[in-house]
Amino acid sequence: MNSPLLTAPGAVAPFDGNPDQGVPWHFGDPFAEQRSAVRSAVVVDRSNRAVLAVSGDDRLTWLHSLTSQHFEALGEDRATEMLILDVQGRVEHHAAAANVGGAVYLDTGSERAGDLLGYLTKMVFWSKVEVRDASADLALLTVLGPEAAGVLAAVGVTAPDAPHGVVALEGGGFARRASWPGGHAVDLLVPRAELADRWGRLTGAGARPAGSWAFEALRVESLRPRLGVDTDEKTIPHEANWIDEAVHLNKGCYRGQETVSKVHNVGRPPRRLLLLHLDGSREVQPETGDPVLVDDRVVGRVGTVALHHELGTVALALVKRSVPPETELLVGAEDRRVQAAVDPDSVPPDTPGLGRQAARNLGR
């Protein structure tokens, strides 16, 4: 569904093929929007994400049995992330989750929401749960930047203090403390009918309007993957920095858990998610799904390509672990191939369960 904010002053719609259809791409100056997100506060329309609601007495134990996350330990007014894996441990679904008001709300990319809803509905059996599509009821706005808490306070919203905290909003919806991008992000799940009004109140309180361009660039900087863009059908959680955030290593008995445990305890993932600095001198740039090459040998795939206000042209890429970080790379199909270098700070330590501490610290 298209957001009403596409008609807001200065809003520019995304180009065809952009994964963030239906919400503003930018508001005239995407680099200034990124700088404001780092220095003050911005609000981003992310209402193109789907929202599913899981209610019922068994909702936490049921989700615990199906997903990579320890939902039995998820308290009221707490948020987390979760994955659903196939039997080989490959990622099929990713969602952010919040346990609030007697339901667990899952927000996820709209392109896979139907499949996720179908899978969850199929797995209900005799459990006391109800799964429904709540996308028509709730829409997502993200406020980020060091002045985010002040902006929210000005519109009567108390930002959750604790990491992964959740606060119910007066009039419906909730605020969820997010761990990225940056250290001050708050997701607002607001009544969809009030989306434009809530946006107007936030911008009136000092938050600069920002589009998906700015948000995606900051996500790339934070080394946070987007399912189906930065991952492929073979991706396992260890490759994509989802250990700890979306995978609880001290639980079992869910589909794909054997692979997670094996890679964590005795092996290393075959690939790793890296930040690449691309040669930005050419007019064309690689696209999602393009190859990463060393001497004409394919060693990886390109995910999100972004223009960052400080880093220039950058991309996330899944690259074989055997490729030394100092290797000179070529990225892209033949007609848009450019040179690339690995950001050394994006290289995770060899122990998969530790993840990249520096990346995690960006959001905490």
Q: What is the pLDDT of residue 183?
A: 85
pLDDT score for 268 = 85
What does the pLDDT look like over 277-313, one tens digit per residue? 999 888 889 999 999 999 999 999 999 999 999 999 9
Q: At 364, is the pLDDT very low, low, confident or very high (cuts 50, 70, 90)?
A: very low
**Region 95-120 average pLDDT:** 97
pLDDT at 246: 96
β-bridge pairing 208-210 and 42-45 = parallel
pLDDT of residue 328: 94
Q: Check whether 219 has a pLDDT greater than 70.
A: yes
Rounded to a whole number of angstroms, the distance between the first and last alpha carbons of the chain is 33
Strand partners, 342: 276
**What SS3 state is found at 235?**
coil
State the average pLDDT for the chain.
Answer: 93
CA-atom Rg of the chain in angstroms:
20
Tokens of 226: 């987007």
Question: In this model, does residue 33 exceed pLDDT 80?
Answer: yes
Residues 6+ apart with CB under 8 A from 218: 34, 37, 144, 181, 182, 308
CA–CA distances in Å: residue 123 to residues 59, 85, 126, 131, 145: 12, 14, 9, 10, 39
What residues contact residue 192 under an 8 Å CB cut-off, 6+ apart?
Answer: 47, 135, 136, 137, 138, 139
Q: Where would I find the H helices in the chain?
A: 30-39, 59-66, 110-122, 148-154, 195-204, 212-221, 257-266, 357-362
Band (pLDDT 50/70/90 cuts) for residue 362 is: very low
| Class of residue 253 by CB neighbours under 10 A (exposed 0-12, middle 13-18, buried 19+) | exposed
The pLDDT value recorded for residue 226 is: 97
Which residues lie below 8 Å from residue 324, measured CB to CB, with a gap of 6+?
none
Q: How many other C-beta atoms are found inside a 10 Å radius of the C-beta of residue 334?
A: 8
pLDDT level of residue 349 (50, 70, 90 thresholds):
confident
Q: Are strands 50-55 and 271-278 parallel, antiparallel or unpaired?
A: unpaired
Q: Mean per-residue pLDDT for 174-197?
A: 95
Residue 350 has pLDDT above 70, yes or no: no
Q: What is the pTM of this model?
A: 0.94
Q: Which two tokens stand for residue 260?
A: 């997670």
Integer Cα distance of 324 and 342 in angstroms: 9
- For the record, the structure tokens of 363 come out as 């959001």
Confidence at residue 358, expressed as pLDDT on a 0 to 100 scale: 34
Sheet holding 138-144, edge to edge: 166-168, 174-177, 186-191, 138-144, 42-45, 208-210
Q: Please list the residues that pair with 141 across neighbouring strands.
A: 45, 188
Give DSSP secondary structure letters for 258-308: HHHHHHHHH---SEEEEEEEE-TTSS----TT-EEEETTEEEEEEEEEEEE
Whole-number pLDDT of residue 173: 97
